[in-house]
Structures are given as C-alpha cells and as structure tokens.
Structure 1
Amino acid sequence: MIKSEIVKQIYAVSHLVGSFQLRSGRISSEYFDKYQFEANPSLLDAVVKQMVNLIPSNTEVLAGLELGAISIVTLLSHYSGLPTAFVRKEAKKYGTSRLAEGAQINNRKVLIVEDVVTSGGQIIISAHQLRELGAEIDYALCVIDREEGAVDKLLAEGITLLSLLKRRDFPT
C-alpha cells in the first residue's frame, strides 16, 4: 500500500472531530483514535512496513511505549528482525518489577516507538527512565506527528523525532 492510501485509510477510520483532552492536558478539536488503525490488521501491516525504512541503521533494540505502541513495535520487530522491549509507564509492582520487559536495553542503541505524538511528553518521560537503565536513546519513531511542538521539545532532550506521517499529510 502506498503512503497516500495509508493516509486516506487512517483518516477514514481514526480521525474524530469534537472536543478531546490530550495526554498533554490540552484540548483539541480533532483526535486520531490510534486504536482504530492499529486494530485493522491490513492497515497496521501497511503502516509498519513503511516504518521499517525509517529505523536508524545503528538501532539495536526497539522500545514500544505502553499501550498504543505495543502492536506497532511488535510488528516492526517482526519485519526488521530487531529485538523489542515493551516499556511500561511505570515499573510494575509484582513479578519482575521491571519498567522495560523483553530485550535488554543496557548499553544498547534504543529506538523509542510511539503511535501518535503531540508534545512528546511521554517520550521524554520514558527516555529519561530508559536512560537511567543504561539505554542510549537518540531517536524516537512515530506513526503520526501532530506537529504541535514535539520535534523541538525532543531535540532539547537529544532525541530526533522520525515520523511516518505528519498532521499536514491529512486533510484539514
């Protein structure tokens, strides 16, 4: 599936208009319900196949952020052959008590994977936590950058945001 078709399909199944509070706390008149495109197997497959080409060549581990990026990072791992870490918002309080499950991240080049990014707040929080665990993080990769300041905020943290799609790619 070509990128323009992906844009049309994501917009058709996940773009909502109304009043929505974003993770950043801001109110938006539009929202991309990521679970709608992530729950569509053929669309998710097409999205991830395009994202593989954006993975920096020195990446050793993909790190998917809970919850929205888990399906994306799992399929991205499948197509790229790179191991995956599943990153919680906070370490679980039972079992292994880990923040990041799966692949080891210590002293490895880790690419954070996210679904839709607005301000980059969760990426910044997770990057700080993963860096404390020894991960080397220079990049984050998302499906959609809403183009609301995340690029600059992430650059201030030493992270370059790579995105498959930007808000400007969709109808207004």
Structure 2
Amino acid sequence: MSLQKDREELRQILKAKSVKTGKFTLASGQESDLYVDCRVTTLDARGAVLVGRVLHDLLRQEEAKRGLSIGSLGGLTMGADPITLAVAMSSSLAGDPTPVQAFVVRKEPKGHGRGKRIEGNFITEQPVVVVDDVITTGGSTLKAIEAIEAEGGKVAFALILVDRSEGGRAAIEDKGYPVVAAFTRADLV
C-alpha cells in the first residue's frame, strides 16, 4: 500500500474515532469546540499500524532534510507511548539499517528504584525526536523536551500526530524546536 493511501486511511480513522465536536474543557483549561482523543486511534490495531508507517516516513524525511541520524524517539506518557512504539516497530519492519529506538518520559521521576524519569531505549549519543499525539498549547511537548534535555538528550524536532492549530506549534518553535505534524485541524474538520 502506498504512503498516500496509508495517510488517507489514517485520516479517516482519526475523523471517525478520535475527532469530536461540541463544547470541551481541555487539559490546558481552555474551552474548545474540538476534542481530539488520539488514543482511540493509536491503540486501535489498524490505526497503530498506519500511525507507525505515516510517522516513520515523516521522521525519515525530516531526518534526511536536516542531515541527521536519529537514535531514539519518545514523549510524555501516555499520549506519546503507542505512537513511539508504532514508529519504532515500523522502523524495524521497514528494514532500516539502524532502527529508531523507543523511550517513555514519565510525568514525574519514579519514586523508587533508580528514580528514573525516562524509561526504555533513550540514546543520548544521537539526536532524539520528541513525540506527542496532539498539540494545543504545546505545554506537554515542552515538558517532555525539558525532561529529555535534563537527562542529556538533544532534541532535533517534534513529531506530532495532530496539530490542533491553536498556538502550540508556535510555542514549541519559538523555543527553537521544529514541529513536524502528520495532520492539522484543517485536515480533520
């Protein structure tokens, strides 16, 4: 199947399962006429496959454009978790010579053991990509970036499934991190 067909099928799944209109209070406290629950799509068997393929392609395109070699990707739990794993699996299944590895950023450091904030295959020797399911204000993405950099990671760019087009991209880019989004509000509404 072509990537264009994968992207269109993913867009249709997002529209059917994840996009809701009405009156909603978002995590940021803002009110909105649009709610996007990407987990319903990213935790769907077919949705996860498509998320992996589409975002793996975007990651590799951006990596090539910037002349980088990305070692790992991850973001703030829980929205980023299924996306991160889907992209890493797609990287392996695509036969990438060095598949991109996955990690998870905890909201708070673990309260026992080694007290880690980042779990998994976090590679600090190469640039990393921060992942998020949806950006509105950019707050959760920036929180993940802060944690990644505190642990020695160098964030190359943010890879986002849905940009709600409500200022989050600008907030992230104003801090010096390019944003690559698979879909925007206009694509889904």
> Same fold by TM-score, threshold 0.5 exceeded?
yes
Q: Is 1:106–1:134's contact at 8 Å kept on the other side of the alignment?
A: yes
Q: 1:97 to 1:148 in 2, by over 3 A?
A: same
Choose from 121, 138, 143 the match for 1:103: 121
Q: Where do 4+ consecutive residues of structure 1 move more than 6 Å?
A: none
C-alpha distance in 1 between matches for 2:122 and 2:156: 17
Q: Tell me the equivalent position of 1:39.
A: 43
Whether 1:66 aligns to 2:73 is no
CA offsets per residue over residues 96-147 of structure 1, 9 Å max, x none? 2111011234343110011111111111112112112111013010110001
Does residue 1:134 correspond to 2:152, yes or no?
Answer: yes
Q: Which residue of structure 2 lines up, in the alignment, with residue 87 of structure 1? A: 105
What is the aligned-residue RMSD (CA, Å)? 1.5
Question: What amino acid does structure 1 have at the position aligned with 2:35?
Answer: Y
Q: What 5-or-longer segments of structure 1 have no aligned partner? A: none
Instruction: Choose the corresponding residue for 1:115, options 133, 136, 146.
Output: 133
Q: How many residues align?
A: 171
- Aligned partner of 1:10 in structure 2 is 14
Q: Does structure 2 retain, via aligned residues, the 8 Å contact 1:52–1:79?
A: yes
User: Gapped runs of 5+ residues in structure 2?
Assistant: 64-68, 92-98
Q: TM-score, normalised by structure 2?
A: 0.84
SS of the counterpart of 1:168? helix
- Is 1:167 the counterpart of 2:185? The answer is yes
Whole-angstrom CA distance in 1 between matches of 2:17 and 2:79: 16
Structure 1 residue identity aligned to 2:162: I
Provide the TM-score with structure 1 as the length reference. 0.92
Determine helix, strand or coil for the equivalent of 1:95.
Answer: coil
